[in-house]
Each structure stands twice: as structure tokens, then as C-alpha cells.
Amino acid sequence: SSGINAELPLRPGGNNGLLGISKPEEYGGLGLDYSYEIVAAEAFATVNSGGVGMAIGVQCDMATPALAKFGGHHVKENFLRPTIAGDYVACLGVSEVGSGSDVASIRSRAVVEGNEWVINGGKMWTTNGAQADWMCMLVNTNDNSNPHKSKSLICVPMKSKGVSVHRTIDKMGMHSSDTAEITMENVRVPLDNIIGEEGKGFQYQMNQFQNERIYAAAGAIPVMDRCIQETIEYCAQRQAFGKSILDNQYVHFRLAELQTEVECLRALLYQCLDHYLLGEDVTPQATMLKLKSARLVREVTDSCLQFWGGKVSFLTFVPFFHCYLHSVSLRLSLSLSL
């Protein structure tokens, strides 16, 4: 449940420029367009450990997009630069107990006292949370009756007095990625730790979610590619009734059909990316990616599972087992879609 040491992938990633591919050069990034980051996401997803890509994804596309786009010099210098370098591990604090998809209903709160924010509340399902150096935290900062205008994003150092890891959470899969529940009691951080304007945190976070959805879809496609390819290889060598499993016409047809669906999803990903690079609002396309990725990763893995047979598919040392476990996390993190 504690996961791998997040520094293992992040420090080499920072040393090789992989944690700031599309981030500004003046803060240590490469300054390339977002397409290069998606190529990297596809490569990370070929690692046979979902937690590696997850840790990097939080660092690059969940906790830092709003910071890079809307943050002032103070927060970029103190949080973005060391995160890009791999010196800091970042986490994103949005979900809470009782507030998951309904982001507007979060209860964590920050009030101004002198030149500081005083934060109380907690965050749930926090990837990298047990190891993070700082959190990009969504909190209520005013009493506006419109919940979309009452929130701000604040950079919270995790070693601040009052921050505690309430527990690490054991999971069905993604064992190499730590997930934690974080509590904050009278945590004080400088007012300058706010990202952008006060009261615009909800909008910033919705914008940040688009990066997360695109990155997650890019990471899901290689998992499905590997799942189908490993199933083809297994079915080609597995004999039953005098011929390979793959020589049954239905098996051929079904695997070809699944790969066709994956290629359609890949085309949608690249179309969404093209619009993103043009500076267009990609909310519709990113939402479609989220929906289709979640449904398809479930369909691909469930269908391929049948071709491995009742006993072999149940073995933990079979390569397909890791694809299946990875897919469970992907389908849940992308969307609870039926």
C-alpha cells in the first residue's frame, strides 16, 4: 500500500527533462508543445507497472498544469522548478471524503490571518500523498454563494505543521503507487502560495482536468495494445482440439474488432491533441476520451481474459494479469461509466 519510492522514476525523469516537457524553459522545462508530452505518456505506459506512469502523470499533468499556466513567479520558482527537476514529489488534493466527482462540494477551507492562509480539512485518494513534498490543494477561500467562485488552488508544503498522512490505502491494483488520506489542521502557508487569482480555483482545476484526461487516455491505449498482442501470442501457441486457439474464426474476428476499436480511440486522442495545440477548448473531446477509454479498456481486458482460459487467466505470474489489474485502475480513474 505504501508503493514504490516515487523518487525512483521521478529523479531520473527530472535529470533527463521528462518532467517538464511542455513546461516553460525559464523554470527548467523544455518548452516543447504538448504533443511531445503525450508521446512520453505513451512510452511510460509500456512499463509493466502502472504505478510508474501514474506517479509521473501526477507530477506532470495533474498537479502542475494550473501552476505553470496561472501561477506567479513565487510559486513557480518554489514549487514548479523543483518539481520539474525531480527534486520535489507533487500530489493533487481535490477529492475528499464524501466529495469525489462533485468537486464543487468540497469542504476544506482556508482563511486569511495576517499574511498567511490557515487551512483546515482533508483530502482523500491522494496519489503520491504519502511521499509528496507539496500538494496542489483546492480549498474554499471565500463565502460566495456560487460554489464555482468560492475556491482557490494553493501550494501546500507537506512538511508544514498540521499536515499529516492519516493513512495509506491498500488497493486492488496499482500497488506500486501510494494512495493516501491527508488531514490538515490549522496549517499555515504564505498568502503568496496561491495559484493565480483568489476565487478562480474551480475553473483552474476544471482546466487542469483536461490535461489529466488526455494524459490518462494516452496511457490507456498502450495497455490495451499490449493486452491484445499478448493474447494473440498466447492463443497462437495454445493448442486445443487439434489446432491453435487463434485458428478459430471467432477468436480472429474478436481480436481484430478490439484492435479496430483501439485504433479509433487513438485517432480521437490525436484529434483532441491537434485542437489542444491550436489553443481551442477541448472539453468535449477530452470528455469523449474519458468516456470511451474507460469503456474500451474494460471491454478489451474482459474479452481477452476469456481467451486465456479459466485457470491460466487466474495466475498472477502470467503477463496478462498485470494488464488486467492496471485496467481496473484505469477504468475507475478515467470514468465510472457503464
3-class state of residue 74 by DSSP: helix
* 3-state SS class at 208: helix
CA–CA distance, 224 with 301 (Å, rounded to integer): 7
Please, which residues have CB within 8 angstroms of residue 192's CB and are 6 or more apart in sequence? 72, 74, 75
Cell output for 107: 469542504
HSE-CB of 319 using CA atoms within 13 angstroms: 14
Note every long-range contact of 113-118, with CB atoms under 8 Å and residues 24 or more positions apart, other chains counting. 113/188, 115/190, 115/191, 116/188, 116/189, 116/190, 116/191, 117/141, 117/154, 117/188, 117/189, 117/190, 117/191, 117/193, 117/194, 118/186, 118/187, 118/188
Which residue, among 333, 337, 338, has the nearest Cα to 95 in the 3D structure? 333
Residues labelled as active-site residues: 212
Which residues, listed in sequence order, are joined to residue 109 by a DSSP beta bridge? 120, 140
DSSP-derived secondary structure letter, 62: I
Q: Which three cell numbers stand for residue 37?
A: 508530452
Give residue 193's Cα distance to chain centre. 23
- Span between the terminal Cα atoms of the chain, in Å: 28
Query: For residues 286 and 335, what is the distance between their CA atoms, to the nearest angstrom?
Result: 12
Q: Given its phi and psi angles, is residue 205 left (phi above 0), alpha (psi -120 to 50 degrees) or beta?
A: alpha
d(CA 73, CA 75): 6
